Amino acid sequence: MFFREHKRLRYNEICVTRMFTIRSQYMEAYYKMNKIQTIHDEVSPIVAQRIKALRELRKKLIGLDPEDALDLIISCDQPIPLVHSIPAQDLLVLIHEIGYQDALPILSLVSEQQWLYLMDAQIWKRDRMCMTETTRWLYLLLKAEPNRFIQWVLKQEPIFFYFYLYQNLEILALQEDEDFSDLPDSFFTMDNVYYVSVSDYRLSQPLDRETEELREEFILEFFKRLAAYDHMEYQNILINTSAVIPAEYEEESFRLKNVRLESYGFLPFEEAIGLYQPIPGKKIFKANNGYEKTVGNETVNTPQLPIQSIPGDNYFYEILMQEESDAQVSNLHLQFAHLCNQIISADNIIVTSRDILKKVVEKACGYIHIGIEILLDGQAPHSEALKKIALDYPVKHLFQWGYGHVLKIKWKVDAWYRHSFAHNQGLTLSFWGEKWMGLLGGMLLKRPRYYVDFEDGTLYREFKSITEVNHVNEILKQIIAFDEMLSLFSVEMSINTEHQLTLQNMLLTLFARDQLKLSHGLSPIPIRQLKDFYQSMWKLDANGSRTDIHPLFKASFLQWFSKQTRFDIEYLNHRLGDAFEQIFEELYLEMSDISFDDLSSRHVYLFLLSENQ
């Protein structure tokens, strides 16, 4: 009976070995066929035609919806070369969009190298292995192709796999005189020597119920198949798992993961964060001289999803469209893909859909566009000028050049805000009004962003042009100027009122109290005393309709402000003229349709009013 079972297992082992030998020979032939040739190689017309057809099919595949992409792969005559030719980053997004269970046919076709990338990209959260994600992906790979998964584990001996088993298993070896009936029911064995139980006592991360079920199913199925395939290897894995030094294994797994991902442009977080370090103008020229060009390295399988997601309203897109050299375009594509991957690493982004990747691409393109605009220095963006920039400067440096200019404004905001008069008075950002609060809030973020007030469907987004950078800089100058002048008003900023104190209602209330000969302070104005002042605000047409704020009102306000701050009117107009006009415009838009009889302290926020008589 023993020899018959041993013979059966040996036969299975031979069959599996032959299967993998045939598969390896086939894949070796495929890679020879699929290798993109340089101009110095001789390519037969048939091979060239097949390579071209594979490229076109892959390009079509990446542009399809998830369901259509799955149908194309399944119906393809040669699905293995097609799947293997998909860049690993694009493949990961495709699997997520299709869905884990529906993507099992694709997982059964991917190469071991792609398997390893999927694990590296998904199972780590910073420097710690996520047991939930590790369980899910190990379960999926085993379910997709059990025999190849076992062969992969035995051949590669991934350290992270042993660390995973150590964290989730309790292993006991019984002697001949020991009774297994004393063990809890959770233990199982394949040889009546080594008893294994799924255990949580070493885990520092709680698992949900679904993950616990997947873990138990995976471990039972894996050891059952491993013991049937090679019993000695089964025992070796249990012995090696028992000897794991957890801290050492996790650290080494993390190091190897970083080494592998670095080849795709995913630098470790500590290195990737250097992308946001601005570079001085002189260094950008010196750095280019030593920059290692990638032109000619045509065997690199560049991810296509970032390239397809590039928006058409920036200079980098125009460079790609105008460039005639295929080698230079490939070089720019590769540099851009690596830049996007470094942004993903620096921002700790997990890309699981095209929408997430699109935001990364838009961020990269926006700061590249700003960098090019700065280098153009006001010149017209002619095709020759853009081509020269593309040849002279690495894409990464263009990004850093653009981001650095935004960062300089952020540092300026940080330095001012800590010592600003308004902040020292205990006033929050809301004091500056909704728009200026949003702008300051965006620049005070750890990574500065542009305030758009839901114009693009979001409150904040990345900067896209030098115009936006200059707009923020100009507004910041006005805010700083107001802050400096407010310290000259000699007024207590805190007030008990049902309205929130803002720059607008503070200035207008103080001005109104001055015109009404009331005491200098931020006390609410009784509505009945405001009638004459309120009527004098408006410029009327022939029919008595309000058309604008009266010029005399504006002039009086400016004279009052000059008196309070002791600055010349001409100087105030130069520094704050636009800001004053915005206050008057907001005053007209908010109150031009309100009659005096309808004024209410609860609904008017541009003045501090009181219902008291």
Q: What is the mean pLDDT of each run of 10 residues along the chain (613 residues)?
A: 40 41 43 41 73 87 92 92 93 96 95 94 93 96 95 91 96 81 86 91 92 96 95 94 94 95 91 90 53 46 92 93 87 94 94 95 97 90 88 93 95 94 90 94 95 88 96 95 89 68 92 92 88 91 90 95 93 93 93 88 86 67
Phi-psi region of 87 (alpha: psi -120 to 50; beta: other; left: phi over 0): beta
**What pLDDT score does 36 carry?**
39
Q: Return the domain boundaries, the chain.
A: 111-264, 269-399, 404-486, 503-610
The whole-angstrom separation of Cα 347 and Cα 45 is 45
**What is the token pair recorded at 383?**
């095709």
**What pLDDT score does 278 carry?**
85
Residue 432: DSSP 8-state: G
321 neighbors 314 (Cβ within 8 angstroms): no
**What pLDDT score does 284 carry?**
63
The 3-state DSSP class for residue 426 equals coil
Non-local (6+) Cβ contacts of 131 within 8 A are 164, 167, 168, 203, 205, 207, 211
**What pLDDT score does 301 carry?**
81
CA separation (Å) from 4 to 11, 142, 189, 234, 436? 11, 28, 21, 20, 83
DSSP string across 518-551: --SS-PPEEGGGGHHHHHHTEEE-TTS-EEEE-H
The 3-state DSSP class for residue 170 equals strand
**Which residue, chain included where needed, has tokens 């690199």?**
300
* H-helix segments, 40-181: 45-62, 66-75, 79-85, 88-98, 104-107, 112-122, 131-144, 146-156, 159-168
**What pLDDT score does 10 carry?**
42
- CA 230 vs. chain centroid, Å, equals 44
Element containing residue 610 per DSSP (H, E): strand 609-610
